[in-house]
Copies of this chain bind each other. A is one copy, B any other.
Amino acid sequence: MTSVTATAATPAGTLGPALTGVVPPVCTPLTPDLEVDVASLLRLVDFQIAGGVDGLFILGSSSEVAFLPDAHRAVVVDTVLRHVGGQVPVLIGAIDMTTLRVLDHARRAARAGCAGIVVTAPFYTRTHPAEIERHLRGIAEQCEAPLYAYDLPVSVHSNLDHEMLLRLAADGVLAGLKDSTGDDAGLRDLIVARNDAGLTGFSVLTGSELTVDNALRMGADGVVPGLGNVDPHGYATLYAHARAGDWDRAASEQERLLRLMRIVRAAPAGRMGRGSSALGAFKTALHLRGVIDHPVTAPPQIPLDEAETAYVRQILVTAGLL
């Protein structure tokens, strides 16, 4: 296999051991009475691993982490970590508003034995670059697991400064980044700066699931694709093509996945939020594919109706997934 470092312009250097490849943010199946559907969750984890993913990210945005009470989060962590048993690394999101609240989640995650904790900038409160840095340093000091920063401006309404990220990488505070900014130029700038600084052990994962081939060519280490829930094999294939230097096949697979992604537009504009529509579509697709028992999303999200479900089904058929 020709690695990407041989063909891409940016030599990726020595990657850290933990985090490369396809790391889907695992959906959290729910029962109709809004408990974690453990049986479905186990099937979904098996489906991901059988699909060839390189790791799992639980309690991320696609996991409806913002919708899950702490007790649900605990069930997810316990269920997945026990079931995976070290087959692949598992990242856990510690998503909450500010440092002390995040630490509560992060400590529980660290105790569970995960491969890394994923945290965003503070939200709800108006934040500031100096406070974001203080936040990340504060969490790292109090928590033993490797720490990954999550750049997600659509949710937290601030961005992570790239100089700060590399400073924290150099100081051993951060193990990596999940970049969900959608800003591929910024991603490239960060990767070039990272490589120039010799910080290639700092994993850069893109959350932009429609330009994964580009991100990997630019030197990203992996991808955290929400759509990977529905088609993990597709993303594993894309990644394998990229790692083999077969960029045309990678692009073809990426375009197939781009067409599949249109399931997130199931709901007509204005009937619900885009989050409801996207998470509803992922779960509906998993339900139609027989992986999970119920397409239930947590309140106050609005469920897809029959026509919207039929729309998802049609795209799955076209994509050869049904």
Contact = CB atoms under 8 A, between A and B. Distances in A.
A128 interface: yes
Contacts of A123: 123-124
A130 B305 CA distance: 15
Interface stretch (A38-46, A48-56, A78-86, A92-100): A92-100
A251 B195 CA distance: 15
A125 B184 contact: no
A70 B10 CA distance: 45
B134 A299 contact: yes
Chain copies in complex = 4
B251 A124 contact: no
A298 interface: yes
A135 B217 contact: no
A161 to B, nearest CB: 10
Nearest to A161: B269
A101 B183 CA distance: 31
Interface in A2-56: 7-10, 34
A197 to B, nearest CB: 13
A5 to B, nearest CB: 12
Given A126-B155, A138-B299, A188-B210, 4 more contacts: A68-B100, A127-B300, A128-B272, A130-B271
16 contacts: A8-B251, A69-B101, A72-B100, A100-B298, A124-B124, A124-B156, A126-B155, A126-B273, A130-B272, A131-B273, A134-B300, A157-B157, A184-B185, A188-B254, A192-B259, A213-B217
